Structure 1
């Protein structure tokens, strides 16, 4: 190529040393370090936003550990952001570290973030939107520049329908069908000798020059603007440092930077660019976010493998397979040193057969599958996830700039010993402990702010409200969410409070407000609760849809339980929930009339939810009134007794008075609503059956009465579809209906008799309902039911119906055996020594 004679600066081309690289490439990173060691430039220019120049010295901090990323965000619109990720094997990171170690100035020369963040706000962006998380900025595995100027797979765009992959073109010219394999053979597996430090860059520049002559800028006008700005910055550096200038940039840009253009022409391209005020900082990054599979458009498929190649200069294959063996041993797989030796031999043999200079990732993966995984891809998936991709999370020093909210979050994380980690893990919290309670509040507050660091999951082995289980995983884009949430306040508590108040005012439905009230209690936001409760009361008074009210009530009632463990005052919430229940009681029976099948199923779920909520709500109302009564009596006992006399409620035996109030009989009134639903023909069968079952479980309906309702529902005059729906409501799903049929063979006989009498032409129609009903039973329950049906009616008559008994069960309660377990029950319930004499029968009923 022209100008390859030796220059006065020690490199083989005239003018500045242009080091065209592939971002996040360990081979490029090693080559850059060798070229800088050989050339010893006086200044290093790096493709990146100039606003980050002041952040470069932080790269030398002992607490800075890559992978990290430069984060730029618009001050007035934090959600508009862009990342420039850097790993230890990124050529840009190597150039920064080399400059700091040799006391050489380092500067970023790409288009400023103040322009790139503004580009696209008014629809004038020709590339990807830099405001999207993970978009924008430098990086990617492509040699074509940043991911804003290329397609997500690294292909330069030429025209509307033509895409050209530069690596693909070069690989095809070299006789390769895989661009990744070609790049590994030519660059990543190539050693850098003492006398050829500049050869890779000269060859790559020549190849990119030919591609740019053929395809121009790839149809991306934005590339032309960026390259114009980089040329201007290069001229400034040349005037200051002469020929001692080295540039590290995407190889696609090298021909454009080498080309001679007029200064006025470059400035004309930059005239009138949009602009926003931007802030920049360093944030931790992860290997997983460098991977294409995580959604980062210009990522690399194997950051863990690349990090290994960069960090292990000698015998990389042997060391890699040893690492794989260690991982598999940790998962209790039998992998010995002989497996490692055989896998190394197989990988080298495969590389020789495929004409490769060294075994690459494909050869080592094939060797691991064949030797260590016995041909199975299941353990290989673990190797890919843990090693090939990896879960490395970078660290950033505390001295890095950050929004006040981020500072407060960092302090709280350190105080609670809750360190962000890239690897997903579960965290069990016991809310009776102060530290765990604070951890739970922090995670709930962050979720309310949209920072999804933790996701609540079901606790294993406990259903108590004092226990919470979280699945934690820190993703780099959460730093953007924190910056975005900074508009609500400077502390996590203040920002969550302000966000909750704003969300309450803007909530669209009643269920949204009730869910927000629950989240406020979980996050312990006492200052936000008055606003949320006022909005809740206003919305509840205006909403007449029973379905909406039924959806809202369970969340409110769940919130009432949190007062015990978290010490939160839920008195106002109790009154709102009780009023909501009253309105449901009145509106539910009319709302259940004339429903289609889907609406009937929804209404059945509402009935279940309200039933569970009423049970808790009744207890909360009594407890709340008892507490209020006790407070009143402690000050004016006589007035409290008078109030109790007015309500006709006797003293509670503890010196206090429990007024009945307007909500004191919620459970009884709810049972009355269920009785109304049981007997109305206009109510769908699934709802009627569910109402009968709930009354039976509550002891409000005798078994004979339940059998009468079932007999009516399964009578010959009832259409088979309606009868099947009634059965589904009564014994369907995971409601324990199977055990009810096992222990009450009279009900089983009614179901069996109806089922055998269904006409053949109607059986096909009811079969899906029946299958949905009985398929939810446990295998043991289904097996027992089958055995009972096989015996036939003459062998399985129940005690009430046929005078016989169920095998293994007596006709009545065995008092002596029940008394034997009472001490253990008291111990489990924490009542040991507290149960008064004569209360054993009550305890048996509870048990």
Structure 2
């Protein structure tokens, strides 16, 4: 019995050559490959005759965890070569690793992530010893452009150094113990025939020592393949892959960067790969109208050959060619280091020529599955839906959401959009539940990556509606405390016809709202959700149970947050004002169906309106909330002025006194503390006249009024006495005070639309017994701040005249 272990670096042409040569020479009985053992019954699917690259996509989902991972293959992947050459010599093929959904792969999105990259200290020492920048350059230097002489021995030494004496983590230990069981079983089954084991080089030392330590335990037979837990859903399917997704410069964290270059290296050797790389870069740059002369290419080639000689390379390596091209084609100073000097994605600020060079190395190859390849149910359902609705080809659509047929097409397109399928782009349409947009424009363009995305989305459900609902549920769960994200989820649910969600998702939504800390974001979300709940029969969200839960939770949270806001800053915050306005609307229009507690809300508003430490805009909004929602008095009740408690809306005890004094109460008869208690009790009806007087301080009046007008605009408009009082107070302000108050006042009165501002202006004219119209008065005031500045100047001139005795009859 002979077991040959080959440790490989994934997606390495050198390792692929070694695997092919070993299998062809030994003609083993078994070829064991690092790969998901639950796919052993379906290895034939891999060998149908696909156009590479392809990948095995595996998914897993249960009540607590969702996991997706890929095991990609290209022509020069050692695992792929092991499959194809093993089949060619008649060997039995076995994947021997744990299934991709196993907890050992938690946090690992790619099965073929190079384990040595997790041991940075070892790699740093090796790179330092050889004077290279990173592990990719080191690998090329040692293996890809070196001679194949004694390649197996050199690889073994390299991986022994990488593994060293360090103990593997729990994940690697579990995987290696499982793979060792397969090795022992295959060795027992093979008898005197050879067995070849192809795994990541990091695992090779552990597997080499495992069989000898295990004695004759191989008699136990083939290991049991783990099965999915009863409450879990998952599976594995082949998907088309692309060189772009394989490229480390594009975020792929395994194997080799620049897959286009290594494909050429695999097919033609290092000398031809270097020449092809230069030609690809030159061609790509010329396509983009970048000047690349023959002299530039000659200089690049000479530089690359010189660098190769200095670095001890038989042929120019990938970085030799890239450094030569950069030297010849980039004349400016670089803001960031050359990307091949380190491992990872392209950094922001990379030179445009360098970006094109990296893209040329990546290649444009996209895989294609054989027509007989099984696909998840979602793929078949989506194809049927798109074909049924005429959405399966290129098109430019305009959909009218008031038309049932167009609305059905829109919902399917939005479900596809939620799954992030390329080639389906919405150019215009409703952006929130507040805008009255009833038409959508879509651009449909079939994309080579469409099938891949649908296969991967198959992990979420067997139908488009189920998959969309699962994605939205996941987004809702991940929203955390971000209410804006949650609002986007809810609106996408409405657009896609997924109005109601599971209990688990509903709990996640409630948790997000209950933990939200941004009053403005909560208010924006509540306004949108309430509108959809009240009106949206087109999207099917009217009286949705899901939205009802959100409304109740949002009202509760907004009132709780608002009462905790402190600070006497006079800066009006339109976000928090809008949040209370959304609460007002929810309490006004949703209270009968949603069982919202109006009494509790009014009590909160009363306390907030009386809180001298709260910002003025919030106090004004709280008073406006009370005024707008206070039930009308029963028939026969005395007038408000006789029954209402004293309202105080000040910043300090002085404002309490001002409020009492303005109400006609002697200051020595009622204490400020008693007024506070009375205001906070929420008893009685709000008195806007006293509240306005108490809040009218030059530095904060405009902000308090902004809150009042935002919440009780109609009440103010239909209470002439309040408008008269505002006229009286504004007219009595000194010029200095008016100049301080004008910016806030200007913002406050913007809550009235133009028509209502005309009404107010007309009433002011009537109050003064003047002719004209409100519109004419408004047109005569072009800049209130300029008028205020003029008034101030007049006051100063009058003061100087009085001081110099130049007034009256002394002239």
TM-score by length of 2: 0.58
**Matched residue of 2:737: which SS?**
coil
8 Å contact 1:443–1:454 — kept in the other structure?
Answer: no
Alpha-carbon distance between aligned partners in 1 of 2:370 and 2:733, rounded to the nearest angstrom: 71
Alpha-carbon distance between aligned partners in 1 of 2:27 and 2:695, rounded to the nearest angstrom: 92
Q: Quick one: structure 1 residues 550 and 49, their matched pair in 2 at CA, closer, same or farther if it must change by over 3 Å?
A: closer
Q: Does 1:28 align with 2:15?
A: yes
CA-atom RMSD in angstroms: 6.5
Partner of 1:282: 237
Q: Does 1:524 align with 2:524?
A: no
Deviation track 1:104-129 (CA, whole Å, cap 9, x = no partner) reads 4321223x328x7144xxxxxxxxxx
**Structure 1 position 236, deviation (Å):** 3.4
**Structure 1 position 50, deviation (Å):** 2.0
Partner of 1:321: 278
**Structure 1 position 343, deviation (Å):** 2.7
Q: Does 1:187 align with 2:143?
A: yes
**Structure 1 position 681, deviation (Å):** 3.3
**Matched residue of 1:356: which SS?**
coil
Alpha-carbon distance between aligned partners in 1 of 2:136 and 2:243, rounded to the nearest angstrom: 19
8 Å contact 2:742–2:788 — kept in the other structure?
Answer: no
Alpha-carbon distance between aligned partners in 2 of 1:280 and 1:247, rounded to the nearest angstrom: 25
**Structure 1 position 745, deviation (Å):** 4.5
8 Å contact 1:428–1:467 — kept in the other structure?
Answer: no
Partner of 1:164: 122
Partner of 2:353: 380
Deviation track 1:273-324 (CA, whole Å, cap 9, x = no partner) reads 9955275423434545545566655454444443443345462222222222
Alpha-carbon distance between aligned partners in 1 of 2:361 and 2:21, rounded to the nearest angstrom: 26
Alpha-carbon distance between aligned partners in 2 of 1:70 and 1:334, rounded to the nearest angstrom: 42
Deviation track 1:157-195 (CA, whole Å, cap 9, x = no partner) reads xxxxxx533xx5555555656443232022112355xxx
**Structure 1 position 70, deviation (Å):** 4.7
**Matched residue of 1:88: which SS?**
coil
**Structure 1 position 557, deviation (Å):** 7.0
Alpha-carbon distance between aligned partners in 2 of 1:316 and 1:714, rounded to the nearest angstrom: 84
Alpha-carbon distance between aligned partners in 2 of 1:87 and 1:439, rounded to the nearest angstrom: 38
8 Å contact 1:29–1:94 — kept in the other structure?
Answer: yes
**Structure 1 position 221, deviation (Å):** 5.6
**Matched residue of 2:35: which SS?**
coil
**Structure 1 position 711, deviation (Å):** 8.7
Partner of 2:671: none
- List alignment gaps of at least 5 residues for structure 1: 1-13, 120-129, 142-146, 157-162, 421-425, 621-664, 667-672, 736-740, 760-847
**Structure 1 position 93, deviation (Å):** 1.3
Q: Does 1:234 align with 2:183?
A: yes
**Structure 1 position 63, deviation (Å):** 4.1
**Matched residue of 1:16: which SS?**
strand
Q: Quick one: structure 1 residues 362 and 296, their matched pair in 2 at CA, closer, same or farther if it must change by over 3 Å?
A: closer
Partner of 1:749: 786
Q: Does 1:369 align with 2:326?
A: yes
**Structure 1 position 91, deviation (Å):** 0.9
Matches within 5 A, 1:79-98: 79-98=66-85
Q: Quick one: structure 1 residues 286 and 748, their matched pair in 2 at CA, closer, same or farther if it must change by over 3 Å?
A: farther
Alpha-carbon distance between aligned partners in 1 of 2:18 and 2:83, rounded to the nearest angstrom: 14
**Matched residue of 1:183: which SS?**
helix
Q: Does 1:132 align with 2:107?
A: yes
Alpha-carbon distance between aligned partners in 2 of 1:436 and 1:270, rounded to the nearest angstrom: 60
Partner of 1:113: 99
Selected match of 1:430 from 398, 408, 417: 398
Q: Quick one: structure 1 residues 549 and 222, their matched pair in 2 at CA, closer, same or farther if it must change by over 3 Å?
A: closer
**Structure 1 position 92, deviation (Å):** 0.7
Q: Does 1:356 align with 2:313?
A: yes
Alpha-carbon distance between aligned partners in 2 of 1:436 and 1:27, rounded to the nearest angstrom: 56
8 Å contact 1:454–1:470 — kept in the other structure?
Answer: no
Deviation track 1:410-462 (CA, whole Å, cap 9, x = no partner) reads 65567779899xxxxx99863349999667534533676xx455799995899
Partner of 1:492: 464
Selected match of 1:55 from 37, 42, 49: 42
**Matched residue of 1:140: which SS?**
coil
8 Å contact 1:594–1:684 — kept in the other structure?
Answer: no
8 Å contact 1:42–1:105 — kept in the other structure?
Answer: yes
Alpha-carbon distance between aligned partners in 2 of 1:598 and 1:454, rounded to the nearest angstrom: 48
Alpha-carbon distance between aligned partners in 1 of 2:325 and 2:368, rounded to the nearest angstrom: 32
**Structure 1 position 94, deviation (Å):** 1.8
8 Å contact 2:86–2:93 — kept in the other structure?
Answer: yes
Matches within 5 A, 1:501-580: 518-525=491-498, 550-556=523-529, 559=532, 568=539
Q: Quick one: structure 1 residues 752 and 24, their matched pair in 2 at CA, closer, same or farther if it must change by over 3 Å?
A: farther
Q: Does 1:218 align with 2:164?
A: no
Q: Does 1:441 align with 2:392?
A: no
8 Å contact 1:238–1:245 — kept in the other structure?
Answer: yes
Q: Does 1:605 align with 2:575?
A: yes
Partner of 2:761: none
Deviation track 1:777-811 (CA, whole Å, cap 9, x = no partner) reads xxxxxxxxxxxxxxxxxxxxxxxxxxxxxxxxxxx
**Matched residue of 1:315: which SS?**
helix
Alpha-carbon distance between aligned partners in 2 of 1:173 and 1:499, rounded to the nearest angstrom: 48
Selected match of 1:154 from 118, 129, 148: 118
Alpha-carbon distance between aligned partners in 2 of 1:31 and 1:519, rounded to the nearest angstrom: 51
Q: Does 1:248 align with 2:198?
A: yes
Deviation track 1:380-420 (CA, whole Å, cap 9, x = no partner) reads 35326634456755444565555534543465567779899
Alpha-carbon distance between aligned partners in 2 of 1:604 and 1:334, rounded to the nearest angstrom: 53
Q: Quick one: structure 1 residues 745 and 24, their matched pair in 2 at CA, closer, same or farther if it must change by over 3 Å?
A: same
Matches within 5 A, 1:756-795: none
Q: Quick one: structure 1 residues 61 and 595, their matched pair in 2 at CA, closer, same or farther if it must change by over 3 Å?
A: same
Q: Does 1:310 align with 2:269?
A: no
8 Å contact 1:289–1:476 — kept in the other structure?
Answer: no
Q: Quick one: structure 1 residues 405 and 754, their matched pair in 2 at CA, closer, same or farther if it must change by over 3 Å?
A: farther
TM-score by length of 1: 0.56
Alpha-carbon distance between aligned partners in 2 of 1:177 and 1:483, rounded to the nearest angstrom: 41
**Structure 1 position 555, deviation (Å):** 1.4
Matches within 5 A, 1:373-772: 373-375=330-332, 377-383=350-356, 386-389=359-362, 394-397=367-370, 399-400=372-373, 403-405=376-378, 407-409=380-382, 411-412=384-385, 430-432=398-400, 440-442=410-412, 444-445=414-415, 451-453=419-421, 459=427, 465-467=438-440, 482=457, 485-486=460-461, 490-494=462-466, 496=468, 518-525=491-498, 550-556=523-529, 559=532, 568=539, 596=567, 601=572, 603-605=573-575, 681=696, 687=703, 715-717=735-737, 720=740, 745-747=782-784, 749-750=786-787
Q: Which moved more, 1:97-106 or 1:46-55?
A: 97-106
**Matched residue of 2:60: which SS?**
strand
Q: Quick one: structure 1 residues 502 and 378, their matched pair in 2 at CA, closer, same or farther if it must change by over 3 Å?
A: closer
Q: Quick one: structure 1 residues 500 and 316, their matched pair in 2 at CA, closer, same or farther if it must change by over 3 Å?
A: closer
Alpha-carbon distance between aligned partners in 2 of 1:131 and 1:266, rounded to the nearest angstrom: 29
Q: Quick one: structure 1 residues 178 and 100, their matched pair in 2 at CA, closer, same or farther if it must change by over 3 Å?
A: same
Alpha-carbon distance between aligned partners in 2 of 1:181 and 1:322, rounded to the nearest angstrom: 21
**Matched residue of 2:198: which SS?**
strand
- List alignment gaps of at least 5 residues for structure 2: 335-349, 432-436, 590-627, 630-687, 719-724, 755-777, 797-811
**Matched residue of 1:332: which SS?**
coil
8 Å contact 1:282–1:401 — kept in the other structure?
Answer: yes
Q: Quick one: structure 1 residues 58 and 714, their matched pair in 2 at CA, closer, same or farther if it must change by over 3 Å?
A: farther
Q: Quick one: structure 1 residues 569 and 28, their matched pair in 2 at CA, closer, same or farther if it must change by over 3 Å?
A: closer
8 Å contact 2:38–2:226 — kept in the other structure?
Answer: no
Q: Which moved more, 1:216-225 or 1:54-63?
A: 216-225
Q: Quick one: structure 1 residues 372 and 503, their matched pair in 2 at CA, closer, same or farther if it must change by over 3 Å?
A: closer
**Matched residue of 2:736: which SS?**
coil
**Structure 1 position 492, deviation (Å):** 1.8
